[in-house]
Amino acid sequence: NAGVTQTPKFQVLKTGQSMTLQCAQDMNHEYMSWYRQDPGMGLRLIHYSVGAGITDQGEVPNGYNVSRSTTEDFPLRLLSAAPSQTSVYFCASSTGTSGLVRGELFFGEGSRLTVL
């Protein structure tokens, strides 16, 4: 059982380049999300999705785009990379239902992005 798979694990970009971070889960989870982790800032939510065709913004969505065409996949697109987007990105999924309690999040291994 693969769980949540993120690719690539490492990436170096130049300012202005675009790229897509891939995230796939094989647990049939409806909820998927992207976080970024920065020193001293903790984990911050970028975008999330509660099901195929449904996405919404989190705390820090600027400069990022997402789509959810299938239950399994939730790619994160950087439209025009900036040095401020240097970070470690985590994809997470959950089987939790709507309401007040999301339930356990299953995390990928992370994608380490450097923007020069």
Partner 1 sequence: SQELEQSPQSLIVQEGKNLTINCTSSKTLYGLYWYKQKYGEGLIFLMMLQKGGEEKSHEKITAKLDEKKQQSSLHITASQPSHAGIYLCGADKGSQGNLIFGKGTKLSVKP
Residues that bind partner 1 (CB under 8 A): 4, 31, 33, 35, 40-43, 45, 48, 50, 58, 90, 92, 96, 98-110
Single-letter code of the amino acid located at 33: S
CB of 100 to partner 1, least distance (A): 4
By beta-carbon proximity to partner 1, the closer residue of 28 and 101 is: 101
> Least distance in Å: CB of 4 to partner 1?
8
**How many Cβ atoms are within 10 Å of 52's Cβ, its own excluded?**
16
The end-to-end CA distance of the chain, in Å, is 36
Shortest Å distance, C-beta 80 to partner 1: 26
Candidates 21, 20, 19; CA nearest to 111 is 21
For residue 53, give the 3-state DSSP assignment: coil
Of the pair 24, 110, the CB lying nearest partner 1 is at 110
Q: In terms of CB distance, is 36 or 71 closer to partner 1?
A: 36
Per the CB < 8 A criterion, the answer to whether 23 and 32 are in contact is yes
